[in-house]
A and B are shown apart, each in its own frame.
Chain A
Amino acid sequence: MNRQEKKELLLSAVSGLSEDNISDFVKYDDFLTQKPGYEPVIRPVLRVVGAAAICAVVLGSLFLGLKYIEYKSDIINSQTTEAAESTEEEKPEPVSEEEDYAHRFDWQYEYDFEYDSGSMPGDYMYNDAMVNGCTLLLKRNVHTGECTPVCTVPSCKHDSAECPFYGTTCVVGIGNIMYGSMKDEKLGKWVVYSYDPETDKKDIIAESAAKIYELISYKYYLYCKRVDTGFTRIDTKTGEFTKVRSQYDYSVSSIHSGMMIWSKDSSGSPVYVSTDLLGENARSYDPHIFNGKLHKVIENADGSSSYAQLDRSGKIEKIMAEDSCYAIPIGENMLSFGAYTDGETHWIDPDDHSKGRRLANGDIYITPLNGGESRLLCHIDGYEPRTAAIACANSKNVMICGDWIAIMTPQKISDNEPGNNNRMILLNMKTGEYHISRYTE
């Protein structure tokens, strides 16, 4: 084999690298594109102090002959700077796949049901939704299902930068205040804003050169994820900004019980780790342990699935929901979705079987996680929940209001809704009352 033949062989062989490897590369590439940090919008005095701090850093660094000033100089807040230096990704150990469940309790944390810490009091839920190609910020009355834009500007069409909420990509609540992120066309930057629905007052609290595409609230903390540098935590009481250490290849699935819960999809089954609230001290985590019991969806002999409570040895103690398609914890309860038992094959899309079998029959059960009995909460005809649909209300504290939760409904997206975050089911977890809520012009 001559050299040219070797190179041709290598050309083909390297081209056959797996998508997993290429995916790792792409993620790392995105991860490395971290340059500027957040620029908090702070009072002039603090700005001067921040600028002085930068000068000190710059001068000191020049003195030492360092060449990497550019990377850090635009980070105003000193704490953000400190943390940014330690954002080297951490590769946590995944949860063991052993079928011996006992080990899982070695690192068990109790779920403390702080699920609604990010919800807002009152009668409304808020979310951004794609409607006719425009991202609108919507509010939904939980008692009626009525869905209207948050913008109160008379005759505003909400389809251009003239609308104060145009392009809002994510929204969460802390106390009475709503927080969102959007591209501010006038500033030419991405911003995080606060909005008080009572006074209709909107303020920018942070600016970013790169896109901010995720907000998560936990107590009075607001976690903002930039597309390049990952999460920064904003203390909404003090205005303090702190960089969060990234967990390479993992994304945050929820924040509760004083922990950030990170997950990555590993061949179809998510792997979880927990860290402290700044992304440090990563360790394995199992999100299915409640009140000291392991909860798990088990396969039945006939191919159906049930939701079961297991003891420490992995022995089934109790079937909590039979023939369950999906089961999700929301607060102190578990919602599960009943399956068809008529022996027929139900397709998600009758014309496209590649999308899989239709599994849920519209029954929604609720099971107290403290070991109480399951009961049928309601039946929503024609509703088949899917994993992505459920996530909306579940872990990120976005769409919860008192006893009400919101669940996305992916059905009928063929009616020209590019996203599926407009149509929602608002469900009362106590009474089973529900509304189908969607915005129509």
Chain B
Amino acid sequence: MLLKDEEIIALFFDRDEKALTETARKFGGYLKAIAANMTDDKRDAEECVNDAYLAAWNSIPPKRPQSLKTYLTVLLRRCAIDVIKKNKRARRIPKKLFSPLDELADVIPGEDADSALDERLLTDIINSYVSSLSARQRYIFISRYYVNRSAAQTAKKLGVSKSTVDKELVQIRAGLKEKLLKEGYDL
């Protein structure tokens, strides 16, 4: 039987290593699937998942996440970025994590240095934009650009066709473009 989130968190707080096995039992499949979307290599995916477990172990306590699954998703993304940085240094740049961003790259300002966005500002704008989306659109955006699911995977989850998701992604990107324009960035 799978433990409840609060029971697993209690194990983390008790520094009981069973916390990790229970976390893996409950969320392992989900995390491995996401990690596989983010990396090109099975070993990298496993490394990301293990790093996420370790990061959870090191941060709980004092952190007491409200949703363990959410927290692990965030940790996994961070770990994936770290793995990418490591691979980049080794000139082994993973394509999977970048391919969805190809679609997004068109909405941010171009070569004009004056309109270049810094990372923090862009994060704030994207955050604000994603918060303003409907629950469904937010789900589609994060599904595609944060956990790197393909449009087909997202469509399957939603029970709609891939073309429907593609159309919605076009609308979402158009909305982000508009938001950036409103913020004063000419494209």
A residues apposed to B, CB below 8 Å: 1-3, 6-7, 9-30, 32-33, 68, 71, 89, 91, 130, 135, 167, 169, 183, 211, 213, 248-249, 265, 354, 413-414, 418-419
- A28 with B102: CB separation less than 8 A: no
A414 to B136 alpha-carbon distance, docked (Å): 42
28 cross-chain CB contacts under 8 A: A1-B109, A3-B105, A6-B101, A7-B98, A7-B104, A9-B119, A12-B123, A13-B122, A15-B146, A16-B126, A17-B123, A17-B146, A21-B131, A21-B138, A21-B142, A22-B74, A23-B66, A25-B70, A25-B139, A26-B67, A68-B159, A91-B135, A135-B1, A167-B1, A169-B1, A248-B135, A354-B61, A414-B14
Q: Known contacts being A21-B142, A25-B143, is A10 close to B73, with CB within 8 Å?
A: no
Residue picked from B2, B10, B67, B142, most chain A C-beta under 10 Å: B142
**Chain B 126-156 interface 0/1 with A at a Cβ cutoff of 8 Å (1 = within):** 1100110001101100110111000000000
Residue picked from B10, B105, B117, B158, most chain A C-beta under 10 Å: B105
A14 to B73 alpha-carbon distance, docked (Å): 13
- A10 with B122: CB separation less than 8 A: yes
- B101 with A15: CB separation less than 8 A: no
- A19 with B101: CB separation less than 8 A: no
Give me the 6 closest cross-chain CB pairs, A-B, nearest first. Answer: A16-B123, A25-B142, A13-B122, A23-B70, A28-B139, A7-B101
Chain B interface residue count: which class?
35 or more
6 extra interface residue pairs, beta carbon distance < 8 Å, beyond A32-B139, A135-B1, A413-B10: A3-B105, A11-B101, A12-B81, A14-B126, A25-B73, A418-B10
B residues apposed to A, CB below 8 Å: 1-2, 4, 6-7, 10-11, 14, 61-62, 66-67, 69-71, 73-74, 77-78, 81, 84, 97-98, 101-102, 104-105, 108-111, 113, 116-117, 119-120, 122-123, 126-127, 130-131, 135-136, 138-139, 142-143, 145-147, 157-159
| Contact among A20, A32, A183, A419 for B158, CB-based, below 8 A | A32
Q: Known contacts being A7-B105, A10-B101, is A89 close to B135, with CB within 8 Å?
A: yes
| Contact among A11, A13, A28, A419 for B138, CB-based, below 8 A | A28
* Residues of chain B within 8 A of A265, CB atoms compared: 66
Give min CB distance, B146 to chain A, whole Å.
Answer: 6
- A20 with B119: CB separation less than 8 A: no
- A71 with B98: CB separation less than 8 A: no
* Residues of chain B within 8 A of A413, CB atoms compared: 10
* Residues of chain A within 8 A of B67, CB atoms compared: 23, 26-27
| Contact among B7, B74, B158 for A418, CB-based, below 8 A | B7
Give min CB distance, B15 to chain A, whole Å.
Answer: 11
| Contact among B4, B62, B113, B139 for A24, CB-based, below 8 A | B139
A12 to B108 alpha-carbon distance, docked (Å): 14
Residue picked from A12, A22, A30, A248, most chain B C-beta under 10 Å: A22
A211 to B69 alpha-carbon distance, docked (Å): 16
A15 to B73 alpha-carbon distance, docked (Å): 11
- B70 with A19: CB separation less than 8 A: yes
A206 to B10 alpha-carbon distance, docked (Å): 31
A213 to B10 alpha-carbon distance, docked (Å): 18
Give min CB distance, B34 to chain A, whole Å.
Answer: 10
* Residues of chain A within 8 A of B122, CB atoms compared: 9-10, 13
Give min CB distance, B60 to chain A, whole Å.
Answer: 12
| Contact among A10, A211, A414 for B108, CB-based, below 8 A | A10
Closest residue to B88 on the A side, CB-wise?
Answer: A8
A127 to B14 alpha-carbon distance, docked (Å): 24
| Contact among B73, B102, B110 for A1, CB-based, below 8 A | B110
Give min CB distance, A283 to chain B, whole Å.
Answer: 19
A1 to B6 alpha-carbon distance, docked (Å): 46
* Residues of chain B within 8 A of A249, CB atoms compared: 135
A17 to B125 alpha-carbon distance, docked (Å): 10
A418 to B7 alpha-carbon distance, docked (Å): 6
Residue picked from A14, A33, A169, A248, most chain B C-beta under 10 Å: A14
A14 to B6 alpha-carbon distance, docked (Å): 28
* Residues of chain A within 8 A of B6, CB atoms compared: 419
A30 to B26 alpha-carbon distance, docked (Å): 13
- B111 with A1: CB separation less than 8 A: yes
A32 to B111 alpha-carbon distance, docked (Å): 40
- A17 with B142: CB separation less than 8 A: yes
* Residues of chain B within 8 A of A418, CB atoms compared: 7, 10-11, 14
- A10 with B142: CB separation less than 8 A: no
* Residues of chain A within 8 A of B109, CB atoms compared: 1
* Residues of chain A within 8 A of B62, CB atoms compared: 354
Closest residue to B72 on the A side, CB-wise?
Answer: A26
A32 to B136 alpha-carbon distance, docked (Å): 10
* Residues of chain B within 8 A of A29, CB atoms compared: 139, 143, 157
A1 to B45 alpha-carbon distance, docked (Å): 30
* Residues of chain A within 8 A of B74, CB atoms compared: 19, 22
Closest residue to A6 on the B side, CB-wise?
Answer: B105
| Contact among B11, B97, B127, B136 for A16, CB-based, below 8 A | B127
- A11 with B98: CB separation less than 8 A: yes
* Residues of chain A within 8 A of B11, CB atoms compared: 418
* Residues of chain A within 8 A of B127, CB atoms compared: 16-18, 21
Closest residue to A419 on the B side, CB-wise?
Answer: B7
* Residues of chain A within 8 A of B70, CB atoms compared: 19, 22-23, 25-26
A9 to B116 alpha-carbon distance, docked (Å): 10
